[in-house]
Amino acid sequence: MRFPIHICAAVMAASMAIAPGISYAEDAADLEEPVRLGYLEHVQIGNLALELKGKLDTGADTSSIHARDVEIYKRGKRDNWVRFRLVGRGGRSVRYDQNVIRFVQIKTKVGGTIRRPVIRMPICVGGVRGRAEINLADRAEFEYDVLVGREFLANRIVVDSGHSFTSEEPCAEDDDE
């Protein structure tokens, strides 16, 4: 059963009075209604808005992107950095040099784990802009180079698994990123 967002916001506001120790949005009226998109959409990554086809995946915690020529190195004694290249639509290639915010262990299908660097980058899907934690992966065996996870989707995008490429909103330039 589905409930309109205004009913969910009212229930959340009522629960704040019942459970004051739990942190919720300060005012339920401040919540914007999430954008409804298909499970496949065009995704723009980075300040240069490199466009790729992506899968919106509510089963993944963080986002993942197919990175090429990945090289992890140290800056100073503690900071891990990573150089990598992304290839977008039409073969457009962009090189990045980013601070690694953490590493994740990803379970493989055949057993075992893979250690991947996680970075933070601007992302835009269906006109919805923000910054996302993205792990750098070898996704050459997958159909889509970008997987957008719950960390970015939550409270922003509702995924309609019965549709794809539904967005009509452009990812306009944003001066603050």
- Within the chain, where are the H helices? 5-18, 150-153
pLDDT at 151: 94
Q: 135 with 106: CB under 8 angstroms?
A: yes
How far, in Å, CA of 172 to CA of 177, rounded?
12
Q: Which residue is associated with the tokens 């150089």?
A: 83
Domain range annotation of the chain:
1-33, 34-160
pLDDT at 173: 60
- The contacts of residue 41 (CB under 8 Å, 6+ apart) are 53, 54, 56, 125, 126, 164, 165, 166, 167
Fold of 34-160: Cathepsin D, subunit A; domain 1 (2.40.70)
Min mean pLDDT across 24-33, 52-61, 89-98 is at 24-33
- Of residues 28 and 145, the one with the higher pLDDT is 145
Compute the mean pLDDT over every residue in the chain, rounded to the nearest whole number. Answer: 82
Is the pLDDT score of 22 beyond 50?
no
pLDDT at 45 over 90: yes
Digit-coded pLDDT (tens) for 98-153: 999 999 988 877 888 889 999 999 999 999 999 999 999 988 888 999 999 999 99
